[in-house]
């Protein structure tokens, strides 16, 4: 019946640096879908120009094209809504994810079920890592100790700027946290295949669980070469946005694990398809995030809790943000685990109205 679009700017607790660049705030778009049966649903887009080729402006633009066309559609006809969005605009996956999330929020509220129960209800909690951005090796070791003291059991260490320094980062973090804590690393496409293999040979002894996107997203041949020469499992992230990409990566034998993000896939519906394709190939999935607030993260927690093949999670963006958009409800964190809300829909009951502000667009 009505779609409202909001723009929010959420500050990080500290500058967050990865191989692709540094962020001090997350510029997100919030969508509210109002139905004629009195239920409203909420969703979030966290665009990344370097990963999904989107900016806050392009998200608002895409929603302006899609919004009027979606008015009058039945929220229960998810496949039709997805098809309609794909007909109207190409790509723009985070914009589509915001609508998709809001639709699932509506369906959950109307059926009085949490979204995770609607999607498969496999587990009640999701073990997540916490991410350490790129800093000097000693600063990263300090951050690692701080997070372990807070109860985190898995660290995701960002690398991919300078191979020899990256080895030092991993060594310092491992020495700082001891042998019980799991460490995964993410190069965000920062290495050449040759550099990746050299780094892997040097870090094997530090007991690394996974290596994420060591090489350029489009270089599946390079990714496959790294995988063949690695004793540590290789995870594809930026190489897989869509179900079609997942199939390509599987055919190229380029990954041991696939990282699904709602912002890359276009939402929960297509994320389910990627997880199914990967499961058929006996490849487990991780669910990751961009710069979402607790709204987008909660949607991803429901997805991860629902689907058996989503065996790893990196759902920490909201924990790295100083500004908290969700005031009541949403996924909580306890002992390194994310707990999906038991309430109906996504389970978010109140927002920080000051951060949310007034809608920038309304369609009805």
Catalytic residue among 100, 186, 292, 318: 186
The 10 Å Cβ neighbour count of residue 339 is 16
List for the chain the helix, strand, coil content (%; round to 5).
40, 25, 35
CA-to-CA dists, residue 6 to 43, 65, 99, angstroms: 10, 16, 13
Whether 219 is catalytic is no
Residues forming a β-bridge with 135: none
CA-to-CA dists, residue 355 to 30, 230, 359, angstroms: 11, 45, 12
Catalytic residue among 96, 109, 158, 270: 158
Return the SS3 of 332: strand
Catalytic residue among 100, 105, 129, 237: 237
Give the position of tokens 């949607």: 299
Q: How is 214-250 classified by DSSP, letter by letter?
A: -S-TT-HHHHHHHHHT-SS-EEESTT-SSHHHHHHHH
Return the SS3 of 159: coil
Contacts of 268 (CB under 8 A, 6+ apart): 97, 100, 101, 104, 115, 119, 262, 299, 302, 303
Whether 186 is catalytic is yes
Catalytic residue among 261, 270, 337, 344: 261
Give the closest residue to 41 by CA, choosing from 301, 299, 303: 299
The phi-psi region of residue 91 (left if phi > 0; otherwise alpha if psi is between -120 and 50; otherwise beta) is left
Whether 212 is catalytic is yes
Return the SS3 of 283: coil
Contact 252/221 with Cβ under 8 angstroms?
yes
Which residues are the active-site residues?
Answer: 158, 186, 212, 237, 261
């Amino acid at each position: 019946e009505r779609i409202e679009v909001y723009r929010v700017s959420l500050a990080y607790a500290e500058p967050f640096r990865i191989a692709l660049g540094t962020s001090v705030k997350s510029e997100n778009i919030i969508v509210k879908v109002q139905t004629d049966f009195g239920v409203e649903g909420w969703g979030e887009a966290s665009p990344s120009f370097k990963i999904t080729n989107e900016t806050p402006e392009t998200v608002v633009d895409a929603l302006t094209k899609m919004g009027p066309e979606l008015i009058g559609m039945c929220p229960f006809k998810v496949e039709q809504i997805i098809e309609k969005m794909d007909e109207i605009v190409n790509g723009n996956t985070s914009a589509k994810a915001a609508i998709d999330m809001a639709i699932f929020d509506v369906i959950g509220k109307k059926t009085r079920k949490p979204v995770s129960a609607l999607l498969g209800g496999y587990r009640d909690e999701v073990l997540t890592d916490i991410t350490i951005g790129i800093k000097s090796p000693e600063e990263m070791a300090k951050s690692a100790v701080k997070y372990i003291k807070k109860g985190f059991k898995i660290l995701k260490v960002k690398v991919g700027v300078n191979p020899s320094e990256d080895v030092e980062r991993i060594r310092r973090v491992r020495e700082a946290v001891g042998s019980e804590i799991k460490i995964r690393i993410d190069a965000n496409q920062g290495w050449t295949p040759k550099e990746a293999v050299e780094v892997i040979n040097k870090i094997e002894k530090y007991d690394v669980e996974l290596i994420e996107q060591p090489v350029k997203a489009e270089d599946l041949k390079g990714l496959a070469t790294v995988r063949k020469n690695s004793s540590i499992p290789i995870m594809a992230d930026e190489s897989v946005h869509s179900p079609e990409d997942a199939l390509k990566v599987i055919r190229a034998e380029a990954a041991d694990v696939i990282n699904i993000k709602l912002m890359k896939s276009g939402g929960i519906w297509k994320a389910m398809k990627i997880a199914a394709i990967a499961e058929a190939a006996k490849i487990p999935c991780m669910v990751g995030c961009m710069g979402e607030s607790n709204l987008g993260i909660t949607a991803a927690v429901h997805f991860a809790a629902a689907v058996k093949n989503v065996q790893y999670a990196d759902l920490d963006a909201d924990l790295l943000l100083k500004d908290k958009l969700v005031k009541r409800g949403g996924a909580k964190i306890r002992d390194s685990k994310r707990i999906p809300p038991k309430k109906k829909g996504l389970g978010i009951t109140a927002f920080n109205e000051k951060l949310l502000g007034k809608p920038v667009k309304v369609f009805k």
